[in-house]
Amino acid sequence: MSLPARPTYLDCDTGIDDSLALAYLLATPAARLVGIGTVSGNTDATQAARNTLDLCGLAGRDDIPVAIGRTDFLARPYDGGAPHVHGANGIGDVELPRSEGPVDARSAAQLLIDLSREHAGELRIVAIGPLTNLAVALEADPTLPERVADITIMGGAALVPGNISPVAEANIGNDPEAAARVIAADWDVTLVPLDVTMANPFEESHRAELLASDSPIARAVGEALDFYFDFYVPEYGRRMSALHDPLAAAISTGGVIPSLAPRVPVSVDATDGPGRGQTIADLRGQRVAPRDHDGVRTRVVLEAEGDVARHLVDLVTARA
Protein backbone atom coordinates (compact mmCIF):
# COMPACT_ATOMS: atom_id res chain seq x y z
CA MET A 1 0.00 0.00 0.00
CA SER A 2 1.35 3.41 -0.96
CA LEU A 3 1.96 6.08 1.63
CA PRO A 4 -0.17 9.24 1.52
CA ALA A 5 0.99 11.77 -1.07
CA ARG A 6 3.84 13.91 0.21
CA PRO A 7 5.43 17.00 -1.29
CA THR A 8 8.58 15.71 -2.97
CA TYR A 9 11.79 17.35 -4.13
CA LEU A 10 13.73 15.41 -6.78
CA ASP A 11 17.47 15.93 -7.21
CA CYS A 12 18.72 14.28 -10.40
CA ASP A 13 21.30 14.15 -13.18
CA THR A 14 18.68 13.37 -15.78
CA GLY A 15 19.93 10.45 -17.75
CA ILE A 16 17.88 7.52 -19.00
CA ASP A 17 17.00 5.78 -15.74
CA ASP A 18 16.39 9.20 -14.12
CA SER A 19 13.85 9.79 -16.90
CA LEU A 20 11.92 6.68 -15.94
CA ALA A 21 12.09 7.70 -12.28
CA LEU A 22 10.77 11.16 -13.17
CA ALA A 23 7.93 9.68 -15.25
CA TYR A 24 7.05 7.47 -12.29
CA LEU A 25 7.03 10.33 -9.77
CA LEU A 26 4.85 12.39 -12.11
CA ALA A 27 2.40 9.50 -12.44
CA THR A 28 2.13 8.07 -8.95
CA PRO A 29 -0.60 9.45 -6.66
CA ALA A 30 1.75 8.87 -3.72
CA ALA A 31 3.99 11.82 -4.59
CA ARG A 32 3.48 15.48 -5.39
CA LEU A 33 6.54 16.88 -7.12
CA VAL A 34 7.04 20.42 -5.88
CA GLY A 35 10.52 21.03 -7.26
CA ILE A 36 13.39 19.47 -9.15
CA GLY A 37 17.08 20.30 -8.96
CA THR A 38 19.70 19.07 -11.40
CA VAL A 39 23.31 18.13 -10.83
CA SER A 40 26.13 16.89 -13.02
CA GLY A 41 26.60 13.15 -13.25
CA ASN A 42 25.20 11.23 -16.21
CA THR A 43 25.38 14.54 -18.07
CA ASP A 44 26.11 18.11 -16.96
CA ALA A 45 23.65 19.97 -14.74
CA THR A 46 22.49 22.33 -17.51
CA GLN A 47 21.76 19.52 -19.97
CA ALA A 48 20.05 17.60 -17.16
CA ALA A 49 17.77 20.60 -16.60
CA ARG A 50 16.97 20.75 -20.31
CA ASN A 51 16.07 17.05 -20.30
CA THR A 52 13.98 17.50 -17.17
CA LEU A 53 12.05 20.46 -18.50
CA ASP A 54 11.33 18.69 -21.77
CA LEU A 55 10.15 15.51 -20.05
CA CYS A 56 7.93 17.52 -17.72
CA GLY A 57 6.56 19.31 -20.78
CA LEU A 58 5.64 15.98 -22.37
CA ALA A 59 3.72 15.16 -19.21
CA GLY A 60 1.97 18.54 -19.21
CA ARG A 61 3.77 19.60 -16.02
CA ASP A 62 5.54 22.83 -16.91
CA ASP A 63 4.39 24.14 -13.53
CA ILE A 64 7.09 22.32 -11.55
CA PRO A 65 10.11 24.54 -10.81
CA VAL A 66 13.34 23.11 -12.23
CA ALA A 67 16.58 24.64 -10.93
CA ILE A 68 20.14 24.06 -12.10
CA GLY A 69 22.60 22.99 -9.44
CA ARG A 70 26.34 22.53 -9.30
CA THR A 71 28.24 21.60 -12.44
CA ASP A 72 31.41 20.63 -10.60
CA PHE A 73 31.63 18.37 -7.58
CA LEU A 74 32.83 19.57 -4.18
CA ALA A 75 36.46 18.52 -4.58
CA ARG A 76 36.83 17.70 -8.27
CA PRO A 77 35.59 19.07 -11.60
CA TYR A 78 32.86 17.40 -13.60
CA ASP A 79 34.58 14.97 -15.97
CA GLY A 80 32.16 14.74 -18.89
CA GLY A 81 29.59 12.30 -17.59
CA ALA A 82 28.72 8.94 -19.09
CA PRO A 83 27.82 9.37 -22.77
CA HIS A 84 28.65 5.70 -23.40
CA VAL A 85 25.83 4.81 -20.99
CA HIS A 86 23.28 7.60 -21.50
CA GLY A 87 24.12 9.07 -24.91
CA ALA A 88 25.59 12.47 -25.75
CA ASN A 89 22.50 14.33 -24.47
CA GLY A 90 21.88 12.10 -21.44
CA ILE A 91 18.67 10.57 -22.76
CA GLY A 92 19.93 8.13 -25.34
CA ASP A 93 20.27 10.82 -28.04
CA VAL A 94 16.49 11.03 -28.29
CA GLU A 95 15.38 14.52 -29.36
CA LEU A 96 12.44 15.72 -27.27
CA PRO A 97 10.04 18.54 -28.11
CA ARG A 98 11.38 21.66 -26.40
CA SER A 99 9.37 22.72 -23.38
CA GLU A 100 8.32 26.33 -22.95
CA GLY A 101 8.88 26.04 -19.21
CA PRO A 102 11.67 28.30 -17.89
CA VAL A 103 14.57 27.31 -15.69
CA ASP A 104 14.01 28.53 -12.13
CA ALA A 105 16.26 31.46 -11.27
CA ARG A 106 17.35 29.90 -7.98
CA SER A 107 20.13 27.38 -7.57
CA ALA A 108 19.02 23.83 -6.86
CA ALA A 109 20.32 24.15 -3.30
CA GLN A 110 18.31 27.31 -2.70
CA LEU A 111 15.19 25.75 -4.22
CA LEU A 112 15.53 22.84 -1.82
CA ILE A 113 15.98 25.14 1.17
CA ASP A 114 12.97 27.21 0.15
CA LEU A 115 10.79 24.14 -0.34
CA SER A 116 11.86 22.77 3.05
CA ARG A 117 10.54 25.94 4.65
CA GLU A 118 7.33 25.91 2.61
CA HIS A 119 6.66 22.25 3.43
CA ALA A 120 8.38 22.03 6.81
CA GLY A 121 8.23 18.56 8.32
CA GLU A 122 6.55 17.08 5.23
CA LEU A 123 9.06 17.43 2.40
CA ARG A 124 10.47 14.20 1.04
CA ILE A 125 13.75 14.23 -0.90
CA VAL A 126 14.50 11.74 -3.65
CA ALA A 127 18.15 12.01 -4.68
CA ILE A 128 19.14 9.97 -7.74
CA GLY A 129 22.34 11.70 -8.84
CA PRO A 130 25.55 12.77 -7.10
CA LEU A 131 24.75 14.46 -3.79
CA THR A 132 26.54 17.74 -4.49
CA ASN A 133 23.45 19.97 -4.35
CA LEU A 134 22.33 18.48 -1.05
CA ALA A 135 25.75 19.01 0.49
CA VAL A 136 25.74 22.63 -0.69
CA ALA A 137 22.27 23.11 0.81
CA LEU A 138 23.41 21.60 4.13
CA GLU A 139 26.37 23.97 4.23
CA ALA A 140 24.15 26.97 3.48
CA ASP A 141 21.51 25.92 6.02
CA PRO A 142 22.59 23.36 8.64
CA THR A 143 19.01 23.31 10.00
CA LEU A 144 17.71 21.79 6.73
CA PRO A 145 17.36 18.23 8.13
CA GLU A 146 14.98 19.48 10.82
CA ARG A 147 12.43 20.35 8.12
CA VAL A 148 12.79 17.25 5.93
CA ALA A 149 10.62 14.20 6.52
CA ASP A 150 13.05 11.75 4.93
CA ILE A 151 15.50 11.28 2.09
CA THR A 152 15.83 8.36 -0.31
CA ILE A 153 19.16 8.07 -2.11
CA MET A 154 19.99 5.87 -5.06
CA GLY A 155 23.59 5.13 -4.42
CA GLY A 156 26.27 2.90 -3.04
CA ALA A 157 27.13 -0.76 -2.98
CA ALA A 158 26.95 -2.61 0.31
CA LEU A 159 27.78 -6.24 -0.45
CA VAL A 160 28.32 -6.14 -4.22
CA PRO A 161 30.94 -4.55 -6.51
CA GLY A 162 30.70 -0.94 -7.61
CA ASN A 163 30.00 0.14 -11.17
CA ILE A 164 32.70 2.80 -11.66
CA SER A 165 35.38 1.10 -9.57
CA PRO A 166 35.67 -2.23 -7.78
CA VAL A 167 33.92 -0.66 -4.78
CA ALA A 168 32.27 2.61 -5.84
CA GLU A 169 28.82 3.22 -7.33
CA ALA A 170 28.60 6.22 -9.67
CA ASN A 171 26.38 8.61 -7.69
CA ILE A 172 28.50 8.24 -4.56
CA GLY A 173 31.79 7.85 -6.40
CA ASN A 174 31.39 11.05 -8.41
CA ASP A 175 31.29 13.15 -5.24
CA PRO A 176 32.26 11.17 -2.14
CA GLU A 177 32.82 14.35 -0.12
CA ALA A 178 29.20 15.38 -0.70
CA ALA A 179 27.88 11.88 -0.03
CA ALA A 180 29.78 11.67 3.26
CA ARG A 181 28.19 14.91 4.48
CA VAL A 182 24.68 14.00 3.36
CA ILE A 183 24.66 10.50 4.81
CA ALA A 184 26.13 11.75 8.09
CA ALA A 185 23.49 14.49 8.47
CA ASP A 186 20.76 14.15 11.09
CA TRP A 187 17.84 12.92 8.99
CA ASP A 188 16.20 9.62 8.06
CA VAL A 189 18.04 8.18 5.06
CA THR A 190 17.06 5.22 2.91
CA LEU A 191 19.99 4.12 0.78
CA VAL A 192 19.05 2.13 -2.34
CA PRO A 193 22.33 0.59 -3.53
CA LEU A 194 23.42 -1.60 -6.42
CA ASP A 195 22.67 -4.67 -4.29
CA VAL A 196 18.96 -4.25 -4.99
CA THR A 197 18.89 -2.17 -8.18
CA MET A 198 20.96 -4.66 -10.19
CA ALA A 199 18.71 -7.49 -9.00
CA ASN A 200 15.55 -5.85 -10.38
CA PRO A 201 15.85 -5.54 -14.17
CA PHE A 202 13.70 -3.92 -16.83
CA GLU A 203 13.11 -6.16 -19.86
CA GLU A 204 12.41 -5.58 -23.55
CA SER A 205 8.79 -6.56 -22.93
CA HIS A 206 8.48 -3.71 -20.44
CA ARG A 207 10.08 -1.26 -22.88
CA ALA A 208 7.62 -2.37 -25.55
CA GLU A 209 4.75 -1.45 -23.25
CA LEU A 210 6.16 2.03 -22.78
CA LEU A 211 6.52 2.46 -26.54
CA ALA A 212 2.91 1.35 -27.09
CA SER A 213 1.52 3.69 -24.44
CA ASP A 214 -0.73 6.68 -25.08
CA SER A 215 1.51 8.68 -22.74
CA PRO A 216 4.06 10.89 -24.57
CA ILE A 217 6.52 10.74 -21.69
CA ALA A 218 6.25 6.95 -21.48
CA ARG A 219 7.00 6.65 -25.19
CA ALA A 220 9.98 9.01 -24.92
CA VAL A 221 11.44 7.00 -22.05
CA GLY A 222 10.89 3.81 -24.02
CA GLU A 223 12.87 5.28 -26.92
CA ALA A 224 15.70 6.38 -24.64
CA LEU A 225 15.92 2.94 -23.06
CA ASP A 226 17.00 1.50 -26.42
CA PHE A 227 20.46 3.08 -25.90
CA TYR A 228 20.60 2.01 -22.24
CA PHE A 229 19.73 -1.60 -23.07
CA ASP A 230 22.68 -1.83 -25.46
CA PHE A 231 25.04 -0.76 -22.69
CA TYR A 232 23.82 -3.51 -20.37
CA VAL A 233 24.24 -6.44 -22.80
CA PRO A 234 27.74 -7.32 -21.48
CA GLU A 235 26.42 -7.18 -17.90
CA TYR A 236 23.24 -9.23 -18.29
CA GLY A 237 23.90 -11.14 -21.51
CA ARG A 238 20.90 -9.67 -23.31
CA ARG A 239 19.14 -6.36 -23.92
CA MET A 240 17.72 -5.20 -20.61
CA SER A 241 18.73 -2.78 -17.86
CA ALA A 242 18.98 -2.33 -14.14
CA LEU A 243 16.37 -0.26 -12.33
CA HIS A 244 18.62 2.09 -10.40
CA ASP A 245 16.80 5.42 -10.09
CA PRO A 246 13.22 4.19 -10.69
CA LEU A 247 13.52 1.70 -7.85
CA ALA A 248 14.67 4.42 -5.46
CA ALA A 249 11.72 6.57 -6.54
CA ALA A 250 9.27 3.71 -6.01
CA ILE A 251 10.70 2.89 -2.59
CA SER A 252 10.45 6.54 -1.57
CA THR A 253 6.70 6.56 -2.22
CA GLY A 254 5.96 3.19 -0.66
CA GLY A 255 5.02 1.78 -4.05
CA VAL A 256 7.75 -0.83 -3.61
CA ILE A 257 8.41 -2.22 -0.15
CA PRO A 258 11.90 -3.26 0.96
CA SER A 259 11.92 -6.82 2.27
CA LEU A 260 15.41 -6.55 3.75
CA ALA A 261 16.58 -3.10 4.85
CA PRO A 262 18.47 -3.04 8.15
CA ARG A 263 19.30 0.24 9.86
CA VAL A 264 23.08 0.20 10.07
CA PRO A 265 25.88 2.76 10.25
CA VAL A 266 27.13 3.81 6.81
CA SER A 267 30.25 5.83 6.08
CA VAL A 268 31.70 6.99 2.77
CA ASP A 269 35.36 6.72 1.82
CA ALA A 270 36.36 10.19 0.60
CA THR A 271 40.09 9.50 0.50
CA ASP A 272 42.15 9.41 -2.68
CA GLY A 273 42.99 5.72 -2.42
CA PRO A 274 41.49 2.68 -4.17
CA GLY A 275 38.50 2.72 -1.81
CA ARG A 276 37.38 6.23 -2.86
CA GLY A 277 33.61 6.38 -3.15
CA GLN A 278 32.92 3.16 -1.27
CA THR A 279 29.87 3.07 0.97
CA ILE A 280 30.91 1.12 4.03
CA ALA A 281 27.82 -0.38 5.65
CA ASP A 282 28.26 -2.10 9.00
CA LEU A 283 26.38 -5.32 8.24
CA ARG A 284 28.05 -7.39 10.91
CA GLY A 285 25.62 -9.57 12.82
CA GLN A 286 23.18 -9.91 9.91
CA ARG A 287 23.63 -13.63 9.18
CA VAL A 288 20.72 -15.01 11.17
CA ALA A 289 18.29 -12.09 10.91
CA PRO A 290 18.40 -8.38 10.07
CA ARG A 291 19.51 -6.44 13.10
CA ASP A 292 18.94 -2.70 13.45
CA HIS A 293 21.51 -0.63 15.28
CA ASP A 294 19.97 1.52 18.00
CA GLY A 295 19.68 5.18 17.11
CA VAL A 296 20.90 4.74 13.53
CA ARG A 297 18.84 6.68 10.99
CA THR A 298 20.21 5.13 7.79
CA ARG A 299 18.64 1.99 6.39
CA VAL A 300 20.25 0.09 3.54
CA VAL A 301 17.89 -1.67 1.14
CA LEU A 302 19.26 -5.07 0.19
CA GLU A 303 16.11 -6.72 -1.17
CA ALA A 304 12.68 -5.53 -2.36
CA GLU A 305 9.29 -7.20 -2.61
CA GLY A 306 7.20 -7.83 -5.68
CA ASP A 307 7.53 -7.23 -9.41
CA VAL A 308 9.19 -3.82 -9.50
CA ALA A 309 9.17 -3.44 -13.28
CA ARG A 310 5.48 -4.32 -13.47
CA HIS A 311 4.64 -1.70 -10.86
CA LEU A 312 6.60 0.96 -12.73
CA VAL A 313 5.14 0.17 -16.14
CA ASP A 314 1.56 0.11 -14.87
CA LEU A 315 1.85 3.56 -13.32
CA VAL A 316 3.89 5.22 -16.06
CA THR A 317 1.50 3.97 -18.73
CA ALA A 318 -1.50 5.06 -16.61
CA ARG A 319 -2.78 1.55 -15.99
CA ALA A 320 -3.14 1.95 -12.24
Residues annotated as part of the active site:
13, 244
CA distance 67 to 38: 6
Q: Which residues pair with 124 in a beta bridge?
A: 8, 150
CA distance 274 to 235: 23
Which parts of the chain fold into alpha helices (H)? 16-27, 45-58, 83-86, 108-118, 132-140, 170-174, 176-184, 194-197, 204-211, 216-236, 244-253, 308-316
Longest dimension (CA), the chain: 55
- Give yes or no for a contact between 67 and 104, defined as CB atoms under 8 angstroms apart: yes
Neighbours of 307 (CB within 10 A): 11
CA distance 13 to 18: 7
- Reported as type and span, the H/E element at residue 6 is strand 6-12
